[in-house]
Amino acid sequence: MRVLVTGGAGFIGSPVVAALRERGHEAIVFDVREDPADDVRDPAAVARALAGVDAVCHQAAKVGLGDGVADAAEYVSSNDLGTAVLLAAMAEVGVRRLVLAGSMVVYGEGRYECPRHGVVRPGPRAVADLDAGRFEPPCPVCGADLVPGLVGEDAPADPRNVYATTKLAQEHLAAAWARCTGGSALSLRYHNVYGPGMPRDTPYAGVASFFRSALARGEAPRVFEDGRQRRDFVHVRDVAQANAAALEADAAPGVLAAYNTGSGDPHTVGEMARALAAAYGGPEPVVTGAYRLGDVRHITADSARLRDALGWKPQVAFEDGMVEFARAGMRGT
């Protein structure tokens, strides 16, 4: 299969290209890092790149929490306009298979249960609570403490920041394309991807990159809130294999199917920071109590659907991945 990989020179795109080639596919890189003309928002450039292509693996995106709404136009342009241009070109030339780099951020907060009211969906955390160090969202009905759990793909979407909103819009665009063309679309909702080649020293990288960059400077990783927020850290090579499996799958035409893509082994941010610092041999993390408005407290995946439907399962254990990441190189911004 000849596969166009947008963002194919990036942190996740590069391992996707490698995984496809290892499995005997022809992977074509389309990325402004390699050629400034490879802009996914340019209809002519995209049309040229799609010549002779059987499928598209769409990784190109502006990622990260961003700066409130100040850079909203940049996110919408990169993520949503770029996706719309790509899908229109695919419809025109007859490419009917798409795998999209989705994100767990479309859910907002994760799954919570109240002892009295069962499964509930807390709203955005109040600034007054965050300022006072009350980081756990309370039950929206009675104010009781909640128990976090694993979120499934059928959970309602509730994006809490600009980036999350653009990622959900990408899925809606892909679903519309699938309905209009009869194409197949799969969205892999990545959880916290980490591993060799993460970009360093950038506000748009993941938390693992922040901590690894600090250690490289001889500084202690600075952990927000109380460090007890739960995440699912999944290795980039496992994510690459998930993309390859999705491209090879017998996907239903005319619909978009979403799959959580996580390790299934949740850890707190503080645990990750300590594991990375220990593996690197650097200073112990510092828990700051600071917060970022728009962050969610807990979000961890139930990836059973991906494992059952596509036969994928992660291979890199958390402890092994942190040791490798501590010793691996990082890329510039």
Positions marked catalytic: 163
* Residue 304 burial (10 A CB sphere; 0-12, 13-18, 19+): middle
Are 205 and 163 in contact by the 8 Å Cβ rule? The answer is: no
Which residue spans within 171-302 are E strands per DSSP? Answer: 184-190, 192-194, 222-223, 230-231, 233-235, 256-261, 267-268, 286-287
DSSP category for residue 158: -
For 199, list phi and psi in degrees, rounded to 5: -70, 145
CB atoms within 10 A of CB 134: 12
Q: What is the chain's alpha carbon radius of gyration, rounded to the nearest angstrom?
A: 20
CA 56 to chain centre: 18
Tokens of 239: 């994510």
Sorted by sequence, the CB contacts under 8 Å of residue 308 that are 6+ apart come out as none
